[in-house]
Amino acid sequence: MSIRSLTRRRRGFTLVELLVVIGIIALLISILLPSLNKARKAAASIKCLSNLRTLGTAFTLYANDNKQIVLQPVTFDASFGPPTVPGGTTTVFWFQRLSFYLNRKDVRSSVNNTLEDSSISSAARGCPEWQGLDNNGDGKTDTDKIGYGMSRRLKAPLSRTRYHVPSNGTTTPANSPAGINGPASASELTAVDYQKPWWHVNELKNSSRRILFGDSRNTFLDPPAAGWEYDMTMAGSGDTRRHGGAVINDANVTTANLTAIRQRADYRAHRANYCFVDGHAETMDPDLALDAINNPR
């Protein structure tokens, strides 16, 4: 065989051949990307569910150390960290109380009302799909929004009382806004179903069907009885589409037409993760989650 023949056989690809190969690669990528994205989201949801179960365990440990008293979503405690203003008090969230049971660290507030991010357990703020919020528009991610919230109406439907620190029986204590120390509003204290704290774990009925923690843009879970708030740009309660479903891109999403939106298939395709009082965690659609907060049965 001549050297010239070997040279001809070893020639490179033609332009057409290269374009064909590139086209095949592009086609394969377009086929595989959706599957890879679904796999990534599924892994993120599994990680989130694991975090929530860890929070459920920490909740139980806290109750065991505190005579079965139910942890409160938010309190004022001047001794927990420096006050934000002279003579003021310190807001303490549920995940700050649980932090010691997660990583043996207390999460304190600083004088500028920010939390020590390095002390917050990865389980408490570890949802892979959580993006963070700048709710006050200062260009910084809010340190008090961790991606999970705690249910505030843990005795619904027996009582719509929001669980907060006891008041003095007639008014909320000094240095305390309504809704944190005492009833959530002035009218709640006189409501026929008002139940004064402290509550105990055995008072939370239907524990395997009652949501305790879950995906949320704020530190709490407190949807109205009619349904979840839908304004995803605000730090409202819940985050119904974090692990499934698309944004409803209606320019006219208002409070007035939320009822109709909640009947739509794209809304009902939303999915989020929740932990229950008994410690197990599930992925749920908005309607099932709403019932598990407002009317578990």
- pLDDT of the residue at 113: 53
Is 199 inside any structural domain?
yes
pLDDT tens per residue, range 212-230? 999 998 889 988 888 887 6
Q: Residue 263: which domain range?
A: 53-294
Q: How many domains, in total, are found in the chain?
A: 1
Is 12 inside any structural domain?
no
Mean pLDDT, residues 96-102 taken together: 87
Is 45 inside any structural domain?
no
User: What pTM does this model have?
Assistant: 0.80
Higher confidence at residue 168 or residue 238?
238
Is 239 inside any structural domain?
yes
Which string of b and e fits 169-190 if b means at least 16 CB within 10 Å?
Answer: eeebeeebebebbbbbeeebbe
Q: Is residue 195 within 8 Å of residue 203, measured between CB atoms?
A: no
Is 148 inside any structural domain?
yes
Is 41 inside any structural domain?
no
Whether omega for the bond prior to residue 34 falls within 30 degrees of 0, making it cis, is: no
Mean pLDDT, residues 105-121 taken together: 61
Give the pLDDT band of residue 272 (cuts 50, 70, 90): very high
With a cut of 70, say whether residue 282 has pLDDT above it: yes
Is 36 inside any structural domain?
no
- pLDDT of the residue at 82: 58
- What is the dihedral sign for C-alpha 53, 59, 62, 68? negative
pLDDT tens per residue, range 136-159? 777 777 777 889 999 988 999 988
- pLDDT of the residue at 280: 97
Is 61 inside any structural domain?
yes
